[in-house]
Structure 1
């Protein structure tokens, strides 16, 4: 596995990974309407372009494919964190998270935060995050629960 920073040319593969991961990995925690509303975010081209242009975006590459990616916004907020459905439970999330936390430390961030899905919550708890609040978001009229979580960065 290698890491690389994302470029605009990676966007199509990133969006596909985002949609396919949610559809397969999150299906036990969210119903079809919620998954459809959530994945509709892949169609917001400007949002994705902004992510690549303005955030620290780290891709995990295995055999020339994106196996997962994580993004750090404003040096302390994990905006996107997805592992390809075919590469789950192989330690990729741990490695991406370690790199994102190191990036936050480079900028002397005191805490790292994220809005975390029901599916990803156990992973983030294992990494030392605590739930600050349960959130009920509405996307296209559909309620989707996630959690505002944060972790104090230790130096």
Structure 2
């Protein structure tokens, strides 16, 4: 696996990865209606293309296929971290997080923060993030639960 910066030609593949990742989350975490509110069908390719040009994520590749991506904003906010369902649990998320930690340190960012889903919260907690608060986000008529978490980067 290798990690590289986003390229505009990645937008469709990332959009599909996001949509697939959300829609394969177990019903015990988020209902079908909640998953559809989070990632509507069909995917908004135009909206994602514009978003990705701004966010410029890092992508994880295996055999030239995008298997995960992560976004790091200038204030240390991780807006997205998604791994293709075929590669979940194989260390992709950990390697993407390690990559942005290095990038953050080079940029002088001293704190990372995220709003983690019910699925992602245990990963971030295991990675050293501290739970700040629980959030209920209203999105397309659904109330989605996530968790604000933070991690202070040690020099």
Q: TM (normalized to structure 2)?
A: 0.92
Q: Where does the alignment leave 5 or more consecutive residues of structure 1 unmatched?
A: none
CA contact (8 A) 1:70 1:80 kept: yes
The DSSP-based 3-state class of the residue aligned with 2:134 is: strand
* CA–CA distance in structure 1, aligned partners of residues 26 and 60 of structure 2: 20
Q: TM (normalized to structure 1)?
A: 0.92
Post-superposition shift, 1:45? 3.0
Q: Which segment is superposed worse, 25-34 or 77-86?
A: 25-34
Task: Encode CA deviations 1:63-116: one digit per residue, 9 max, x unaligned.
Answer: 121111111012511111001000111111111000011111111112100110
RMSD: 1.6
Aligned residues: 154
Q: Where does the alignment leave 5 or more consecutive residues of structure 2 unmatched?
A: none
Change (3 A) 1:134 1:40: same
The DSSP-based 3-state class of the residue aligned with 2:128 is: coil
Post-superposition shift, 1:3? 1.4
- Where does 1:83-102 land on structure 2 (aligned, <5 Å)? 83-102=83-102
* CA–CA distance in structure 2, aligned partners of residues 14 and 27 of structure 1: 23
